[in-house]
Amino acid sequence: MSLFIASINSGSNGNCYYVGNENEAVLVDAGVNCRETERRMAKLGLSMGRVKAIFISHEHGDHIMGLPALAKKYKLPVYISKVTLQGSGMGLPEELVHYFPSQPVSIGALRITAFEKLHDAADPYSFIIEGSGVKIAVLTDIGKVCKQTIHYFRQCHAVFLESNYDEEMLRTGGYSQRLQNRIRGGKGHLSNDEALQLFVGHRSPYLSHLLLSHLSEHNNKPELALDLFSPFADELTIAVASRYQESPVYHIQHTGDNSALSKSLVPFHTVQYSLF
């Protein structure tokens, strides 16, 4: 009873997250070009043949840049908001497009729930991917923690959680006041401190992995985020999802007592992983 997760890339230069079981998988966002997505997945021992669908959170380029080529090449269904598709300007074959229904979507043994989030996009969504008793959340590009975010975060065994900026670096960096206000204004991004408050206040007793995601290139540093979270880690694995390379594949296991045992995946070959 387990799922496998990996970050293909995480940051303003491209976002793509892999969640799957032994038979099927989904990608959340496709902001990395098709060839690079293929290369990184192959490096991790992950087969594109196992990917059965792509779920798109919103229309910003760092989340959809690689979508048309990837979807067309592998004839992958694309689950997307109608408003998001219209705002993206993408040309996708009609037969590949599936608009979010009001109920969760089943992809083989995986169950994907989309729920609205606060971000400066046309119609943005976060996702919960569930299978084999394990729940994985992709919670990035969030301007503010809302009740739905808390509700789903409390259920998770592993989370890709946005920890975008350090307050002091943003305040003293080179960004204009207007851009700073956009980032911290409730529909931009979560700071390290805001992400930590969610983690400390609402973590589930069986949360095993926290992947800090979508770190700003200019207003954050991996070591800053890790230093902030590490004192609260207990036995959790806390890592940074890099903007420069893929993460390891993590094996998230569910046990009957609603706890999770997680470790780096053994059946696939592993890679060296740097925070920088």
Overall average pLDDT of the 189-215 stretch: 97
Overall average pLDDT of the 58-85 stretch: 97
Q: How confident is the prediction for the chain on average, in pLDDT?
A: 92
262, pLDDT greater than 60:
no
The per-residue pLDDT for range 48-69, each reduced to its tens digit, is: 999 999 999 999 999 999 999 9
Percent of the chain past pLDDT 70, that is, above it, reads: 92
What angle, rounded to 10 degrees, do the helices at 222-229 and 192-202 form? 30
Enclosing domain of residue 194: 2-264
Q: Does the residue 271 lie in any domain?
A: no
Confidence (pLDDT) at 275:
29
Where helices occur in the chain by DSSP H, the ranges are 34-44, 61-64, 67-74, 82-88, 147-153, 167-172, 177-184, 192-202, 222-229
Give the global pTM. 0.92
Confidence (pLDDT) at 256:
56
Residue 40 — very low, low, confident or very high, per pLDDT cuts 50/70/90? very high
Residue 164 — very low, low, confident or very high, per pLDDT cuts 50/70/90? very high
Q: How many helices (H) and strands (E) does the chain have?
A: 9, 15
Residue 231 — very low, low, confident or very high, per pLDDT cuts 50/70/90? very high
266, pLDDT greater than 70:
no
268, pLDDT greater than 70:
no
Q: Does the residue 221 lie in any domain?
A: yes
Confidence (pLDDT) at 269:
29
Q: Does the residue 269 lie in any domain?
A: no
Confidence (pLDDT) at 175:
96
Overall average pLDDT of the 167-196 stretch: 96
In angstroms, what CA-CA distances link 225 with 8, 250, 260? 20, 20, 24
DSSP state of 84: H
Confidence (pLDDT) at 15:
98
Q: Does the residue 15 lie in any domain?
A: yes
Q: Does the residue 12 lie in any domain?
A: yes
274, pLDDT greater than 70:
no
Overall average pLDDT of the 135-142 stretch: 98
Q: What is the CATH number of the domain that holds 223?
A: 3.60.15.10
Contacts of 272 (CB under 8 A, 6+ apart): none
Quick check: helix, strand or coil at residue 258?
Answer: coil
Report how far residue 149's alpha carbon sits from residue 116's, in angstroms, rounded to the nearest whole number: 9
> How many domains in the chain?
1
Q: Does the residue 50 lie in any domain?
A: yes
Find, among 115, 196, 138, the residue nearest to 163 by Cα: 196
DSSP state of 270: P
Alpha-carbon torsion, ordered 39, 240, 211, 111, to 10 deg: -20
Contacts of 170 (CB under 8 A, 6+ apart): 180, 183, 184, 191, 216, 219
Quick check: helix, strand or coil at residue 158?
Answer: strand
273, pLDDT greater than 80:
no
270, pLDDT greater than 90:
no
If one counts every other C-beta atom within 10 angstroms of the C-beta of residue 175, the result is 18
In angstroms, what CA-CA distances link 50 with 3, 24, 54, 228, 256? 13, 5, 12, 36, 27
Q: Does the residue 26 lie in any domain?
A: yes
Confidence (pLDDT) at 257:
54
Q: Does the residue 274 lie in any domain?
A: no
More confident residue, 255 or 110: 110
Confidence (pLDDT) at 272:
28
